[in-house]
Chains A and B, each alone.
Chain A
Amino acid sequence: MLDVLERALTSLEGKEPDEVPVVLLVYGLVLKSIAGVSEYEYYQDLDLQLKAKLEFQRMFPDVWNVTMGTYPEYAEFVGPMPTAFGGEIEWLEDAPPYVSEYPIKEPEDVDRLVEAGIPDPRTDGIAPEFLKRLQYFLDNFPKDIREKYNYLDGNIYPGLGPSEGASLCMGYDTFLVWMRLHPDVLHKWLDLTTTWLIKYCEAIEELVGKCKILFLPDHSASMVGDKFFNEFILPRLNRIFKHYKGALRIWHNEGSVGHMLSAVDKIDAEVWHFGPFDDSIECKKKTHFCLMGNIHPPWLAKATPAEVEEACKELILNTASGGKFWLSTGGGMAPGTPFDNIRAMFKAVEKYGKYPIKR
């Protein structure tokens, strides 16, 4: 019998492992309940985070909580890029923090930032604090679990990707409007955010070692048609992905892109963590990706275990043949998701997910 990591890697190559791997993203929203604290407390207390992550892994030894789920959480999703460029974030009591002050308001701000040079992730914004926390995780994460699941070492998760990070710095609507209003400015800005992001990845690499897995969330593709995707978004995504050719590269976007699968197929990543609004059969047929998904997280939080089993059965029967499929949610995990529903995912694998898959 393979372990979950071997299973996932076999499937990635388009081969059939012993059974369908279960790969999830389980983080603060769910883990705070294991820790029994508010989200704010959870983010502030590193030790508590580490314990909650390990406790979850002990409860579910067959889940691969890939990269993002095993990273320290400290505004790591939305914080690093906007604060590096002079923006501010605000902490909320029982929800993750958000960007409260945009560094980019006018086109001139882009020129100002270009002139100022690329911020240093080791000194500017919240990234240095995050890197400190990552070092704490590296010092304290039990070696056996780290090795068994390939956690932390060579894992890179730099928060939101180049286009969505750029949006966070100016507001999503402004970002999208500037595609028509100030395309040249936007190109300049995207070049800068991409360069910064690579520099940030390299700062992370200094701690975790040479990149083996890159986890990059960027949902901006779901907000545009293929013309703007090809012009603004794809080149920046691929600049980063190509920088890490040879590593296992995961593009996370659970927003719908069913309208331009052939465009999305050009993304130079191995895995696409896809969402519940895109049809898994179509996505498998029309793209090269190993698909990770796509049970709807809020639905998973409310469904009965029997319903979850049924939904996973359908998904497995439709998508798992020939490998290139990791059973997951279409996105993260909603707070209040009952652990019994995660168990139901395994039940579905047990009953229907043993290779060869039979309809």
Chain B
Amino acid sequence: MAEKLLKDLIDAIIKLDIEKATNLTKSMIDKGITAREIILDGIMPGMKAVGEMYERKDYFLSDLLFGAYLSEECFKLLEPLLAKEIKKVPIKGKLVIATVKGDIHDIGKKIFTSLMRAEGFEIYDLGVDISAETIAEKVKEIEAEVLIVGTSALLSTTAPYFKDVHEALEKAGVRDKVLFMTGGPPIVTADEVNADFYTNNAFVGVKRALEYVNKKKQ
């Protein structure tokens, strides 16, 4: 029974049917299926499929963002359960992400964030127009085996600021403990700003993050 319901949930998420997805989540809670299962075998694969459809251009930004919204609504229903469950949902790692100082473009950042959430990362989205120091402070505060710092910039004037983020991370003594990724259109290279990685494709970014997780595990 659980298997069928989980499959239906994945299907509802793929079809972006919010009513069906939330109703299914509620009825699974009532039937005693764990939040862990609902998340790992329902919401996450559903959202991942939505991401893949976006990549194939079967879905557009409005669809991807609605998928993320819908998943969030399901998560909210599961929150009380999650707090009580002993066997926690495993997280693959933590992502601190921000659009850098002087820049307010955040659509691409949101895409990357929602894909990373679907892969099981815990997200700390600091917002837009964020200083290097604020990013470094947050990174220092967070404890995690796998810690990724993502910065986004779309302006030629702000992309070079990635280098300031690198320096602030160094100054805070955390630079070598994290994977530092940058994204946005090709204005600077990773080398130019001392980042570990640059991409203008959120899916490539996720792939790189997962490789990092695997490397850390070894």
How would residues 143 to 158 of chain A score, 1 for a CB under 8 Å from any chain B CB and 0 otherwise? Answer: 0000000000000000
Checking A29, A94, A224, A335 against B60 with a beta-carbon cut-off of 8 angstroms, the contacting residue is A224
- Are A180 and B66 touching (Cβ within 8 A)? yes
Checking A92, A181, A299 against B18 with a beta-carbon cut-off of 8 angstroms, the contacting residue is A181
How would residues 95 to 127 of chain B score, 1 for a CB under 8 Å from any chain A CB and 0 otherwise? Answer: 000000011100100100000000000000000
- Are A228 and B62 touching (Cβ within 8 A)? yes
- Give Cα distance in the complex from A68 to B62, angstroms: 28
Q: A98 in the interface, Cβ–Cβ < 8 Å?
A: yes
- Are B65 and A176 touching (Cβ within 8 A)? yes
Q: Which residue of B lies closest to A179 (CB)?
A: B62
Secondary structure call for the B interface: loop
Secondary structure call for the A interface: helix
Q: Which residue of A lies closest to B103 (CB)?
A: A95
Q: Count the B residues whose beta carbon is within 8 Å of the partner chain — how many?
A: 25
Return chain B residues, CB-CB under 8 Å to A179. Answer: 62, 66
Taking CB atoms and an 8 Å cut-off, the chain B residues in 47-80 that contact chain A are 57, 59-63, 65-66, 69
- Are A95 and B157 touching (Cβ within 8 A)? yes
- Give Cα distance in the complex from A94 to B18, angstroms: 42
Known A-B contacts A98-B129, A298-B156; the reply to A223 vs B62 at CB < 8 A is: yes
Among A95, A173, A179, A223, which residue has the most Cβ atoms of chain B within 10 A?
A: A173
Q: B178 in the interface, Cβ–Cβ < 8 Å?
A: no
- Are A177 and B104 touching (Cβ within 8 A)? no
- Give Cα distance in the complex from A40 to B16, angstroms: 43
Known A-B contacts A298-B185, A335-B156; the reply to A224 vs B104 at CB < 8 A is: no
Q: B194 in the interface, Cβ–Cβ < 8 Å?
A: no
- Give Cα distance in the complex from A29 to B187, angstroms: 15
Chain B residues within CB distance 8 Å of chain A:
16, 18, 57, 59-63, 65-66, 69, 102-104, 107, 110, 128-129, 155-158, 185-187
Chain A residues within CB distance 8 Å of chain B:
29, 92-95, 98, 172-173, 176-177, 179-181, 222-225, 228, 259, 298-299, 301-302, 334-336
